[in-house]
Amino acid sequence: MAKIPSALKISIDFEKRGVGLYLQLASKTKNSLARRLYYQLAQQEIQHIIMFDNIYENLKRDNKWPRWTVEEGDKLEYIIKEYFHTVKKDPVVRIGDNVKGLELAMEVEKKGYLMYEKFLAKATDNNEKLFYKELLKQENAHYEALANIHFYLTQTGDWFTDEEDQVWNWMNQ
């Protein structure tokens, strides 16, 4: 039987904490955009846990790291695009506790990215390396979404004056 990487156990615990954090932040915020983002991030973190569990089971059974790719965060972008298409560009935004929550979430995503970067550096199997590379892309997408919403909430006027394709590079695709 293959040795189960401790990285998987660490990753599952990290993602579980992320789910809890995002659900807690969603329940506290009054801003619908931030709330939608938090719920979507919690859902994606659950998907990460499922992926790690599947890999763990495959390693136990077949003694091989499975070929696995992480799906892009298209649902995350869809939620944000939908918000901006349904809500008129209203510069009046309740900031409240949203900024601190977003900053905390951004910090968590940074930690996750750095953790998965270390796991990638230690990976020996090509499929494992591919998995962590894809996971890094998704964690980066999470961070960018949080950073964009942070920018929107804290510098709304600047956000509206910047070209959307610079701030939300996927908005015009």
In the chain, what are the domain boundaries? 6-167
Asked whether 136 and 75 are in contact (CB, 8 A), the reply is no
The pair phi, psi for residue 118, each rounded to 5°, is -65, -40
Give Cα 163 distance to the centre of its chain.
Answer: 24
**CATH code for residues 6-167:** 1.20.1260.10
H or E stretch at 22:
helix 6-28
- pLDDT attached to residue 173: 36
Which pTM value belongs to this model?
0.75
Q: Is the pLDDT of residue 31 over 50?
A: yes
Over residues 52-78, mean pLDDT: 72
Give the model confidence (pLDDT) of 112-162 as tens digits: 999 999 999 999 889 889 889 988 988 998 898 888 888 877 776 555 556
pLDDT of residue 170: 41
